[in-house]
Amino acid sequence: MISSKIEAALNRQIDLEGFSSMYYLSMASWCEVKGYNGIAKFLYHHSDEERMHMLKLFQYINDRGGHAVVPGLDAPPKMYASIHEIFETILSHEIKVSNEINALVELCIQEKDYTTHNFLQWYVAEQIEEETLARNVLDKLRLIGDDKGGMYLLDRDLQSLSVTVHGSSKED
């Protein structure tokens, strides 16, 4: 059984993961409208991943005797200046998520809730991957600069990365 303090903190994380899913969805839509179809595909898949992060929390809270609550979400921004801004946004958002996960881990230690502490290790590892991915794309964008051919290739690469990471086919 989780304490009400841990339950409330995990529900706040549900809110953040749910918002992340909508945030990626909004960025995917902007990219699609602007013709960056590969990057859009990558971001649509990532939005699904964030929903999965949220659902894992639902399952855990309810399995441990709490009540997972559907969040009322604020709308994410809908306009972005550039692909560079999108990935800067992603990196700073994921750093924020990492900080929240770390605060949750710290709370589990204070509350001596080692089961939830163990559950959260999956999120700790996931955050390292997500931050690294955003930094890698930003490095590539810096190399590309204003080169349109480079942007074309990055768009294509991110579409294939989406297939590799998310295991989907190109037809979906």
Report the b/e string of 21-51 with b at 16+ CB within 10 A: bbbbbbbbbbbeeeebebbbbbbbbbbebbb
Q: Which of 130, 133, 158, 159 is the binder for ligand FEO (CB under 6 A)?
A: 130
Single out the residue of 51, 47, 60 nearest to residue 113, CA to CA.
60
> Footprint of ligand FEO on residues 132-171 (CB under 6 A)?
none
Decide: is 17 part of the binding site for ligand FEO (CB under 6 A). Answer: yes
Decide: is 53 part of the binding site for ligand FEO (CB under 6 A). Answer: yes
Between 24 and 30, CB nearer to ligand FEO: 24
Give the CA distances from residue 30 to residues 14, 38, 43, 147, in Å, rounded to whole numbers and listed in that order: 25, 12, 10, 21
Tell me how far, at minimum, the Cβ of 150 lies from ligand FEO, in Å.
Answer: 26
Tell me how far, at minimum, the Cβ of 81 lies from ligand FEO, in Å.
Answer: 22
